[in-house]
Chains A and B, each alone.
Chain A
Amino acid sequence: MLAFGKSAGGHGYEERSMSEDLTQASDAALVVAIGRWRQDALAEAYRRHAGAVYGLAVRVLADRAMAEEIVQEVFLRLWDHPDRYDAERGSLRSFLLATCHGRSVDLVRSESARRAREEREHRQQAEAGYDLEHEVWDVIVAEDVRTALDQLPEGEREAIELAYFGGHTYRRVALMLDVPEGTVKTRIRSGLKRLRAGLAESGVRT
């Protein structure tokens, strides 16, 4: 077994050519650097995206300690398997969030007691509507996202929120909303497409 450890990046050409300004590097370049055991590249990816990952995990899990575990897991996975991110297929953020969401949902569904609690919370949340105003990261994008959400038919918005933030399957969402399963499937898909179109119209890159 050939030892080819992290210290390899500490000297020589990689150091010179890559560390100059990681804050200016593209996400794709960061992932390549992570593949070369560049801890500072992982740190930069963390700086850019950990807040969003944590925010989503907290939202789905309603539990800060578990959300922290998920954040740790998501970035360790990126460190161990940077190959799983394909820059041609989407942004690093959406990749990390998809990983985060999948794991969060697994946890939610594996803890039935928690699920019962979540259902109550998320039903209330869905009824109250999704308020992005308190969660502004970039005022303009947040505005646009809110506008696009507001323009969705009520049923579509509700289905997306219960599935995505509630961590429920579309079958459960159908039960919760008392509509046919097929309707929920369709609403989620058409709602996402409508959101994308709406966001594209207002110039948000998706």
Chain B
Amino acid sequence: MFLKLIKHDILNSWKDFGLSYLLGLGLAVLLFISKIPGETNIIFSLFVSLLMLGLGLAVTIVSIRALIRLFYSSLYTQDPVLTWTQPVSSTWVLLSKVIVGFIWSLVSIVFIVALMAIFLLLVSQDTVEGLQMIYDMFSEYISVDPSVQIVYIVSFVASYCLQAATILLVGAIANSSWIRQHRNILAVAFFLIIYFTITNIISLVSRGGPIVISTFGSSIYVGLSNGLGSALLFYCGYIVLSAVLFLLGKLVIDHKLEIN
């Protein structure tokens, strides 16, 4: 049943996420195909840069809108009757949203990387030079200390979990019997208060987090302030906190849910 729930969440969010990514990529590829080989002038580069910037912005807006729809609207404003009358526990309903949101977040990253690669190919003199620039971009990332790369990945997962759990908790509170009016506005206010309070406290306690970025002249150095172990422990704390918020959200739904 859980897998079926995930399947339907993916199908329902496909139009929000997938179609816009495909359209964006299609546009970028079309530009690439229409480019005259060897001819890269300033106006064309500027045009492409603006277009790519627009696409990047559009993707960000679409992703935020789609995540709100996935984590909030589908639960409380658009499909609440279907969601909360189906024979599935609230844990599975919420977990399915978290997993599907994570899948789409990964797709967003792949899309942005693909967009950057196409951009480099477009503004370069020829394809070989473009490919070299893409290689340089990736090798710069690969050359970073592997432990930092691990921490980057874990931090991405941990930050995602905290955001998702916070949205689910505030959605549950705003749609509980405690609140009967202005639920959507209050959900946004609760999210801003809870999320920024938590992240600011964490930032203060950890003095900026375990990843240190410093510059030496023109080069950038990325490292870990207290080693891999403590960095992983730090983000494990993030995930534990997310789990607590998730369970609180589930508790509120199980005992206080009130769909108008």
* A-B complex is real: no
**Residue ranges of B at the interface with A (Cβ–Cβ < 8 Å):** none
**Residue ranges of A at the interface with B (Cβ–Cβ < 8 Å):** none
